[in-house]
Structure 1
């Protein structure tokens, strides 16, 4: 932050330890008295860069593993010179941390995980990397932050328009060696879409600034008594002149996924009889993804980026179901065979132009991206009850987004930003059935257009930082059978941060935002999917958008210890409810419905601890009070929820590393369905060879082979369903990861590329039992 009219000088330097190793991420700040004028964080090479007017100042450097460093400098005539700063290791406590270990710090509105070259990061994929971030949970259902599901994931400012298993599979194609840092925003600002429900996770890739090449080759295999898969991947980044090129390819081949499902019903009327069902599924999956892109630096201030992506996948899921029903003294046994096949093809392209209008952060940006995704499926259903059906499905989703924005940074430290965005979503879904004449199939066709304008302001008032933004959105949806909706809305957000000391070692952060979540296209699809003779899943085209008010207060100590209390207040939240079919009372149907109110009051603790030399314990704990009512006339129901992830990493001699992770969740509730408590342990051992270029990994996931149990309640019966084996069971993992680098040293840098923050409503309902 510079005084108006002062002549700016650039201050550059490098921070190392006594042995010449880079210190990162260290906070470097320029002070005049107690007033902070500028600040930066060192990169993986230990370098920093900031601007200040002429004059004498105090340069302060802070890092959790080193003693504080303060030095007097004079900026006059120094522009272009590089300072060399050496930090001494702390004698106790934090000084026992190796410089290369990853660092987790909390900034005003986000967590930042600096990846670095720590042994803990060696060989990790993107999904494993996100699990190290505070408050982030990654499952086959998607990504959540502080217990709020539906987080958006960006890679270099390009949104991954995927969810569920498709998103997890994509993240596994990324390698930690390609990542500079991970940023976790529990609350999105006005520049993101108003429908960002569960926060934002930004993965910033490394970029070479000197001529040279980075390449990574990996292969992992999972195997177990009922599970087997192979995941190869490779990536390369090359910088030459003004060009930076990148390409990657990855595969996911599941050749064995045998899972068992057991369902039992307990009738409200004990005389109604008994019901038990057993099924065995052997899922197979093949998926290949490729990406290629380039960034051209037209001049020091203007860059043009483009990226293209292609992926193809095929998944089969044959299952055999045996159901035994006893009613009124009559025993009936029914066998069913369900053979499902689904194909998935995605093509995406993105382009952006970024022009930096000054040297202190102002810029203009134009981004456009297009995604075309097609899914096809065939389902064969046969039962000894006497029926046989075949479904042929075809879906196509096309999303076009164009975003223009401007950011103006004033010398006083004030930041003004504004932008406009247009998004067009098109969904077409058809089902053709060969079976009973009374069930002919259907066709749905939706087009949604969203026009948005947004503006925000940020300013520094001494130790108080304020940010406020407003986003206006106009939405128009049209579809078959006369469906037409049009509405406009305003979405506000604000953040206030107060630092109790000049180096911001202790801060309080207050945040508020209003968001909307539009129903997923798959939820709007009325298609009914059969998972057995007595269980269906179907959509609901009458769903309304969900409106959410989010508020929180976070205490931050030493950049990395955080305690957050807050609430997410929902109106018309979409939940999956279980019903019985009026014409067939033994049939259970799961259908999404709007709930009148649902409030989540939470407390979240993030604490990276270092009890002894070479040991690091990252603790993420979340507790939630869930208050809900289905309709305005219903009484409030309250549930207490808890989530925990504890990761203990131990650095061993001879470039070896061990990690133990404990994941826990309490009983989870969603309308009249839910998930029983689950506790799992994962163990990983790593050894590096060939001057840290080769990493060998051996791990066990779900060490004690804990399955998953679901429950649902209807007026007629309660049902419990347990799933074991397959992806829910114990798995062994063996991995090899090789890194090749050539050329000069690598410097991390945020790359502004394609950005998109709109709906990710492309995934179908998976066939869940």
Structure 2
């Protein structure tokens, strides 16, 4: 830490000496108001010289602006929707901030002739400033953000897995349709800005490998109540799912109260998998059919409260509860021919799993100045209890043999975190961000397997049972320094994490210390920053999710099962990229993600019965992804938006140190087209395509999905009706697994993956003046994600 502090001091001292404005440059700043003197946010102000735009910006939510240009005489053009444009001539430099007053217009403002950017590129992120008058919802705004991919089930940056979504510094742990519905309920009037961070900095967890999408809401100043209620459903011939949710935000004097509840109720979810094998010898044959009926109920509730002690200090607390019950039954039929002898078998399986998670958060925030400097203290606790009951019955017809066995499992997970951070804005566009964090994790997981003997007695099978007691302590510290110097922008940081793990059941203890450096550099080729070059590097870690460590054996058919691996090691990732940015939003990126000990699913033969295969998790020695990504947003007409994202990947895999590299070429595409029709109707067509994918000794066939959705706003935007059909052409998944004795080919059809019709209705309500919405920050969201079920 002493060496890190010295480096940061050296950077600060160096930049303080060079951050002077070049000769002939000046800062033109001020604010824009209406005639009564009220500040106007998101007004456009540009500087022209000989009718050529030299600089442009939009005012912030306080109506302030700041531009850096050369000294000289300029024409200032200021305009905002609903106001008459103002043109005037000034000579720079000015001795004081300028004030520009706009007069409210009696007619609608026509097409803007000169434009200021609403997308800004910083060293490590894109910042999309949202106009409150755009009339778009959260997903429409995200689809315009550079590099953001939206599918019917996921949100990512350039297709990378593990992207996290934050709203007002709180991670949104919803996934799939629930997350998309939540974002659709948000309106442009609520959203201040959207930040897209492809490579997370040192202030984020070292496990933030997929980047960050951060949404900041507007600060409203008056008491009142605001919220929304949503009811949605997803239907197909084999799926019935209902998705209710509600939020309530209230401000009363110095108190802010937020509450939210959501659920996912699935009374019907049928799926089917067919499998066949190709043996190395031509005499053996294998085919199986498995039918699944999975029903689940999921619910979450959250309430938080914030008290503003004064203008500089506030405290907050939040309690959240999550519960899920899942019941799954399956039936399988298998035909196996061994050396000319036919074996027919059937299996009935029943599984019930439920878990309950209770978490609590408390924080204290102290503002140090009006620049955004803040001191934060956050503590967080999460407790999850999980139980499972499984029953298995198999019958082998030729031998008239049957077997019955059962298993019972229970697990307790606990996560405690404590976090202190300081962000200090310095002079001349510099800032320093430092913090300390401690995380304690405990897992106690047990399972007992019993078989029914011929005399109808239950006997314990010690080979299948297990007891896993796992502890993890992580001590983290980070520091990052940022500066803007003329056309250059820098962020350099490092995060250090000391980790101690103890697996008492398997006598596995690990102690290790890691440094996770992060560097972001941006250079603008012109003053308007319409052409920019961005370089980024970060080192990340991916710790095993708890379900991958769990050696619980889950039977999927007579000849296949899934099982975890308690010996997994964490994955280390070195990520780097170079991006060319044109006109703030067109991007072309080349880079690489180099993985060491990457955790992958792997297909193996059972040691006791070679005809049985199973899926487990292993560490690949090396897996490197070299990629090129393009983001192309187009708006050929005011009523049509088209955003196309393409990624090409060269995948190099070496499973063990002794193995040779295997090379594959992958392609991904995501295209969204939005049509804004009369009567506040939006029609959206979406395409998502992936080439054949490779993982371990398994493959996933290529898949191309087309979806169509329509959204209608009515009653003054208080109601939003959404209807969609996902996977119009009903494309399913196909898998291939290769082991020495045979190759298995499987076709999987699921109600949630096939053609699905979805409808939702959202009611947004607001009483009194718009509220000032604040949320409680928490520090352990990335660790809590490891609790998620697969």
TM-score, normalised on structure 2?
Answer: 0.84
Bigger mean CA offset, 515-524 vs 532-541? 515-524
Name 2:454's counterpart in structure 1: none
User: Mapping of 1:28-47 within 5 angstroms?
Assistant: 42-43=60-61
Check if 1:467 corresponds to 2:491: yes
| Residue 704 of structure 1: how far off its partner (Å) | 1.0
Name 2:715's counterpart in structure 1: 690
Name 1:282's counterpart in structure 2: 293
Check if 1:368 corresponds to 2:379: yes
Bigger mean CA offset, 476-485 vs 219-228? 476-485
Q: Judge conservation of contact 1:306–1:352 (CA < 8 Å) in 2.
A: yes
| Residue 25 of structure 1: how far off its partner (Å) | 8.8
The structure that has the greater radius of gyration is 2
Structure 1 counterpart of 2:779, from 755, 763, 768: 755
| Residue 407 of structure 1: how far off its partner (Å) | 1.5
The verdict on how the C-alpha distance between 1:86 and 1:630 changes in structure 2, with shifts beyond 3 A counting, is farther
Check if 1:389 corresponds to 2:405: yes
| Residue 642 of structure 1: how far off its partner (Å) | 1.2
User: Mapping of 1:332-731 within 5 angstroms?
Assistant: 332-385=343-396, 386-435=402-451, 437-438=460-461, 439=463, 441-481=465-505, 482-731=507-756
Q: Judge conservation of contact 1:581–1:587 (CA < 8 Å) in 2.
A: yes
| Residue 674 of structure 1: how far off its partner (Å) | 2.5
Name 1:261's counterpart in structure 2: 273
The verdict on how the C-alpha distance between 1:431 and 1:63 changes in structure 2, with shifts beyond 3 A counting, is farther
Name 2:124's counterpart in structure 1: 109
User: Mapping of 1:319-334 within 5 angstroms?
Assistant: 319-334=330-345
SS of aligned partner of 2:611: strand
| Residue 423 of structure 1: how far off its partner (Å) | 0.7
| Alpha-carbon distance in structure 1 between the residues aligned to 2:543 and 2:304 | 31
Q: Judge conservation of contact 2:129–2:193 (CA < 8 Å) in 1.
A: yes
Deviations 1:12-68 (A, max 9, x none): 44699xxx998859689999xx9x99977645xxx5346899x9998787999x999
| Residue 700 of structure 1: how far off its partner (Å) | 0.6
| Alpha-carbon distance in structure 2 between the residues aligned to 1:429 and 1:57 | 73
SS of aligned partner of 1:759: helix
| Alpha-carbon distance in structure 1 between the residues aligned to 2:602 and 2:43 | 47
Bigger mean CA offset, 602-611 vs 81-90? 81-90
| Residue 720 of structure 1: how far off its partner (Å) | 1.6
Structure 2, unaligned runs of 5 or more? 1-15, 22-26, 397-401, 452-458
Deviations 1:425-454 (A, max 9, x none): 111111122226434511111110111111
Structure 1, unaligned runs of 5 or more? none
Deviations 1:285-321 (A, max 9, x none): 2112111112222222323222221121111121111
| Alpha-carbon distance in structure 2 between the residues aligned to 1:397 and 1:51 | 50
Deviations 1:316-373 (A, max 9, x none): 1211111122222222221111111111211112122222211222221112222212
Structure 1 counterpart of 2:315, from 289, 297, 304: 304
The verdict on how the C-alpha distance between 1:421 and 1:41 changes in structure 2, with shifts beyond 3 A counting, is farther
Deviations 1:243-297 (A, max 9, x none): 22211111211121111211121222222x2211112212212112111112222
Bigger mean CA offset, 171-180 vs 346-355? 171-180
Check if 1:176 corresponds to 2:206: no
Bigger mean CA offset, 110-119 vs 400-409? 110-119
SS of aligned partner of 1:631: coil
| Residue 76 of structure 1: how far off its partner (Å) | 6.9
User: Mapping of 1:224-235 within 5 angstroms?
Assistant: 224-235=236-247
| Residue 667 of structure 1: how far off its partner (Å) | 0.8
Q: Judge conservation of contact 1:522–1:761 (CA < 8 Å) in 2.
A: no
The verdict on how the C-alpha distance between 1:589 and 1:144 changes in structure 2, with shifts beyond 3 A counting, is farther
| Alpha-carbon distance in structure 2 between the residues aligned to 1:690 and 1:167 | 28
Name 2:197's counterpart in structure 1: 185
The verdict on how the C-alpha distance between 1:733 and 1:758 changes in structure 2, with shifts beyond 3 A counting, is closer
SS of aligned partner of 1:412: coil
| Alpha-carbon distance in structure 1 between the residues aligned to 2:379 and 2:46 | 35
The verdict on how the C-alpha distance between 1:61 and 1:477 changes in structure 2, with shifts beyond 3 A counting, is farther
Bigger mean CA offset, 533-542 vs 644-653? 533-542
| Alpha-carbon distance in structure 1 between the residues aligned to 2:297 and 2:787 | 17
Q: State the number of aligned residues.
A: 738
| Alpha-carbon distance in structure 1 between the residues aligned to 2:132 and 2:103 | 21
Name 1:239's counterpart in structure 2: 251
The verdict on how the C-alpha distance between 1:296 and 1:764 changes in structure 2, with shifts beyond 3 A counting, is closer
Q: Judge conservation of contact 1:314–1:343 (CA < 8 Å) in 2.
A: yes
The verdict on how the C-alpha distance between 1:140 and 1:742 changes in structure 2, with shifts beyond 3 A counting, is closer
Q: Judge conservation of contact 2:530–2:584 (CA < 8 Å) in 1.
A: yes
| Alpha-carbon distance in structure 2 between the residues aligned to 1:401 and 1:83 | 50
Deviations 1:505-557 (A, max 9, x none): 22111011112222222222222221111112112222222111111011112
The verdict on how the C-alpha distance between 1:119 and 1:269 changes in structure 2, with shifts beyond 3 A counting, is farther
Deviations 1:468-527 (A, max 9, x none): 101111111123143321111211111101112223222111011112222222222222
Check if 1:251 corresponds to 2:251: no
| Residue 579 of structure 1: how far off its partner (Å) | 0.9
SS of aligned partner of 1:466: strand
Q: Judge conservation of contact 2:33–2:39 (CA < 8 Å) in 1.
A: no
Q: Judge conservation of contact 2:366–2:376 (CA < 8 Å) in 1.
A: yes
SS of aligned partner of 1:340: strand
Q: Judge conservation of contact 1:204–1:750 (CA < 8 Å) in 2.
A: no
SS of aligned partner of 1:400: strand
Name 2:456's counterpart in structure 1: none
Q: Judge conservation of contact 1:29–1:61 (CA < 8 Å) in 2.
A: no
SS of aligned partner of 2:636: coil
The verdict on how the C-alpha distance between 1:49 and 1:387 changes in structure 2, with shifts beyond 3 A counting, is farther
| Alpha-carbon distance in structure 2 between the residues aligned to 1:86 and 1:107 | 34
The verdict on how the C-alpha distance between 1:103 and 1:613 changes in structure 2, with shifts beyond 3 A counting, is same
Name 1:198's counterpart in structure 2: 210
Check if 1:152 corresponds to 2:164: yes
Name 1:213's counterpart in structure 2: 225
Q: Judge conservation of contact 1:391–1:433 (CA < 8 Å) in 2.
A: yes
Q: Judge conservation of contact 1:145–1:151 (CA < 8 Å) in 2.
A: yes
The verdict on how the C-alpha distance between 1:558 and 1:140 changes in structure 2, with shifts beyond 3 A counting, is closer
SS of aligned partner of 2:305: strand
| Residue 169 of structure 1: how far off its partner (Å) | 4.7
Bigger mean CA offset, 146-155 vs 577-586? 146-155
